[in-house]
Structure 1
Amino acid sequence: MSKISTNKRKTILEKLERLRLDSYRENNNIKRLAEYDGYRLRVGDYRIIYKLLRPVPLSPVPENA
Structure 2
Amino acid sequence: MKVLSVHVGSLQEMLRNGKKIQTGIYKRKTEGPIKVTRLGLEGDDQANKKLHGGIYKAICVYPSE
Q: Does TM-score exceed 0.5, indicating one fold? A: no
Which of the two has greater helix per residue? 1
Which of the two has greater strand per residue? 2
Q: TM-score when scaled to structure 1?
A: 0.28
Question: Greater Rg, structure 1 or structure 2?
Answer: 1
Q: Which has the higher contact order (CA 8 A, sep 6+)?
A: 2
Q: TM-score when scaled to structure 2?
A: 0.28
